[in-house]
Structure 1
């Protein structure tokens, strides 16, 4: 299922430019997207946002019959996890925009690199929320008891002698199942970075040289034999560590 993006801007030239940017970014990051644009806010707009799950919204601040803040609130009624990027010529509404938990606020004329970074951030946010809503669970045996964990809640997995420790944001679990066996049952958002550590890509905050850092602040050295695969993976999905 593609990431759904809507762009709202009365300036048709600006609208076409932003559509082109979204298409270019989607190809660059290898993310399937569906982009729909509106240069007027009419019944068709309200019908679309009520019938579809919107992942990303690029909203101009000024329309003849409303403003971007109003549009954002209308979209959030049906899509509370939408990533909103406001586009404007002035900064007067910036505080109000961020009170809506906007992902970003970009001034015209738009700088492509700045918009690309906001797009990247929005994609990882959208994928993270999708995993929380739809992500599957994985089952383990812990102390002879069956435990089911949502995969998106796992930060990383660690090999400890004969056991594997599963770290989540709330607690950790230990099982006698091997790290490799668990890896084969996990979704593709997990990546082995050395012999002992398997990380959730959605939890990665940064990569510096041969170290990988999680958003929690924990970090691990990338094994020599894993460096190429890790770098290849991140070259395809660079938005993970922006």
Structure 2
């Protein structure tokens, strides 16, 4: 069951997209539960105690009182890890959507039904992958399981690896950079330095010889890795296709 929340202050819009999602789900044999909310405040109140009730959240941006972007930011502050799709009439907030780690930014007036379906199915796939995308580390009989999406980066020093994850948590274990690379192949990690392996979704900014993560940390980039890191990140952003217009 995929749980979907729709948030828009227009009832006709909510009904329209709920029907579209229902039809797409039926065609693709996806079992869904759809709930509608008429304001950002209502959605936040509903999720205040249990912020991860929804797998996918569709958010309008131009709503009365609290807009959808502010709603999304507060959801993330609450610890909400739902896949968020902005569905709006305004292009003004598209760059802010990167900070939210949104699946897509769609414009109501210029998103054809096949594009809407494509984005929905991608979000469903991302939800389904969450249950299998886990990193297992430890030593001896002790094992720790960490969702890969929560990992910001790995740091290694003489076979001691420190994994940094979930808001300033860290854990040490023994491995090599080569072993890590094989474990994380296809998981959107890039080696930026002989001692660092970084999750692409956490990169926010490049300096001349370093990069800044969403956690605020500054990670050095080795001279021999610079060209490959920039290209890999550019390809990642392009593939994410967050610009829906």
TM-score between the two structures when normalised by the length of structure 1: 0.52
Aligned length: 151
Aligned to 2:131: 130
Tell me, yes or no, if structure 1 residue 14 matches structure 2 residue 7.
Answer: no
- Give the match's secondary structure for 1:125: helix
Deviates more, 1:22-31 or 1:78-87: 78-87
- Relative to structure 1, the CA distance from residue 97 to residue 124 in structure 2 (aligned partners, 3 Å threshold; closer, same or farther) is same
- Give the match's secondary structure for 2:33: strand
1:47 to 14, 29, 45: 45
1:124-169 CA distance string (max 9 Å, x none):
1111113346x9x9xxxxxxx99x998x99xxxxxxxxxxxxxx97
- Give the match's secondary structure for 1:47: helix
1:158-211 CA distance string (max 9 Å, x none):
xxxxxxxxxx97437xxxxxxxxxxxxxxxxxxxxxxxxxxxxx98xxxxxxxx
**Contact 2:60–2:68 (Cα < 8 Å) also in 1:** yes
**Contact 1:9–1:60 (Cα < 8 Å) also in 2:** yes
**Contact 1:81–1:129 (Cα < 8 Å) also in 2:** no
Give the number of the structure whose alpha-carbon radius of gyration is greater: 1
- Give the match's secondary structure for 1:57: strand
Aligned to 1:26: 25
- The whole-number CA distance in structure 2 between the counterparts of 1:84 and 1:59 is 7
Structural mapping, 1:54-133, within 5 Å: 54-109=54-109, 110-132=111-133
- Relative to structure 1, the CA distance from residue 131 to residue 80 in structure 2 (aligned partners, 3 Å threshold; closer, same or farther) is farther
- Give the match's secondary structure for 1:69: helix
- Give the match's secondary structure for 1:171: helix
Which 5+ residue runs of structure 1 have no aligned equivalent?
138-144, 154-167, 173-201, 204-242
- The whole-number CA distance in structure 1 between the counterparts of 2:87 and 2:182 is 41
Aligned to 1:171: 182
- Give the match's secondary structure for 2:95: helix
- Relative to structure 1, the CA distance from residue 115 to residue 41 in structure 2 (aligned partners, 3 Å threshold; closer, same or farther) is same
Q: Which runs of 4+ in 1 moved over 6 A?
A: none
- Relative to structure 1, the CA distance from residue 16 to residue 169 in structure 2 (aligned partners, 3 Å threshold; closer, same or farther) is farther
Which 5+ residue runs of structure 2 have no aligned equivalent?
149-178, 188-245
- The whole-number CA distance in structure 1 between the counterparts of 2:79 and 2:26 is 25
**Contact 2:6–2:58 (Cα < 8 Å) also in 1:** yes
**Contact 2:83–2:123 (Cα < 8 Å) also in 1:** yes
C-alpha RMSD over aligned residues: 3.3
**Contact 1:6–1:36 (Cα < 8 Å) also in 2:** yes
TM-score between the two structures when normalised by the length of structure 2: 0.52
1:28-55 CA distance string (max 9 Å, x none):
222222211112344x422322325221
- Relative to structure 1, the CA distance from residue 48 to residue 130 in structure 2 (aligned partners, 3 Å threshold; closer, same or farther) is farther
- Relative to structure 1, the CA distance from residue 66 to residue 52 in structure 2 (aligned partners, 3 Å threshold; closer, same or farther) is closer
